[in-house]
Amino acid sequence: MDLSSWTGAAIAVVAVVLSSGVAVGGPRAATNMIVGELTSQPIGHYDFCQQSPAECSVRLPSSPAPGLSEKGWAAIEAVNTSVNTRIVPKTDRQMFGREEFWTYPASEGDCEDFALLKRRELADRGFSLADLLLTVVRKPDGEGHAILTVRTADGDFVLDNLDPKVKAWNETAYVFVKRQSSSDTGRWVSIESARDVPVGSVR
C-alpha cells in the first residue's frame, strides 16, 4: 500500500468504520492519553524510515479523535487476533543478529513488527493513519516494548502481541512513554502518564 496516498483518500473511507455516537461492544473504561511535546524518535523507527521514507512522510490534518462504530471495533479485534495468530514471536537478534530492526513481518517478528503490520492492515480497512499510532511503553519489569494505539473518541485502545484482547490503554500495566504524532508519521510525542513511575529514555 502506498501510505502517501492517505493524506486525502482516508478521510472518505474512514467514515465506513469510524462514526460518532455509536455504541462500542468493547471495553468501556478507556480514556484518551494526554500527549506532550515532540520527543526523540526510537532508533529502530528512524532506521525504518530511512529504508522506507514514504512510510514516514505522511502529513495529516489536525482533527479530533473519531467515534468508534461496532463495525470498526470488530475490525480492530479481527486484525489483532489475526496478526497475533499468524506471526511467531522472535527477537530481532534471533532473526537479524542485531537489536531494533523494525520491519513488516512475513511469518516471524518482534513486538514492533506486530504493531507495524496491525497498523497497515487497519489502514487497509479504512482507518486513518492519524488514529493508528505506534507506541513505546515500559513493561512492569522495566523492559521496553512496542504496541499499536488506536485513537478514538471513545478512548485510546491498544493492540499488543502479548495480549489476545484489545484493551483500553489505562487498563494495562504499562508505563506509556511515547507514540507517533497523529499529524506526522515521522515524528513522535511524549505521553504524560498518570502513573507515578520514573521512566528513562527508550531508544
Domains of the chain: 29-191 (3.10.620.30)
Q: Are 13 and 129 in contact (CB under 8 A)?
A: no
pLDDT at 183: 97
pLDDT at 29: 54
Task: Spell out the per-residue pLDDT of the chain, length 203, in tens.
Answer: 444 444 444 444 444 445 444 444 555 557 999 999 999 999 999 999 999 999 999 999 988 999 999 999 999 999 999 999 999 999 999 999 999 999 999 999 999 999 999 999 999 999 999 999 999 999 999 999 999 999 999 999 999 999 999 999 999 999 999 999 999 999 999 999 644 333 233 44
Alpha carbon distance 148, 161 (integer Å)? 9
pLDDT at 28: 53
pLDDT at 6: 42
> Which of 180, 197, 134 is closest to 161 using CA atoms?
134
106 secondary structure, DSSP code: S
3-state secondary structure string across the chain: CCHHHHHHHHHHHHCCCCCCCCCCCCCCCCCCCCEEEEECCCHHHHHHHHHCHHHHCCECCCCCCCCCCHHHHHHHHHHHHHHHHHCEECCHHHHHCCCCCCCCCCCEECHHHHHHHHHHHHHHCCCCHHHEEEEEEECCCCCEEEEEEEEECCEEEEECCCCCCCEEHHHCCCEEEEEECCCECCCEEEECCCCCCCCCCCC
Burial class (CB in 10 A: 0-12, 13-18, 19+), 32: middle
pLDDT at 63: 87
Alpha carbon distance 135, 178 (integer Å)? 6
pLDDT at 116: 99
C-alpha cell of residue 39? 520527543
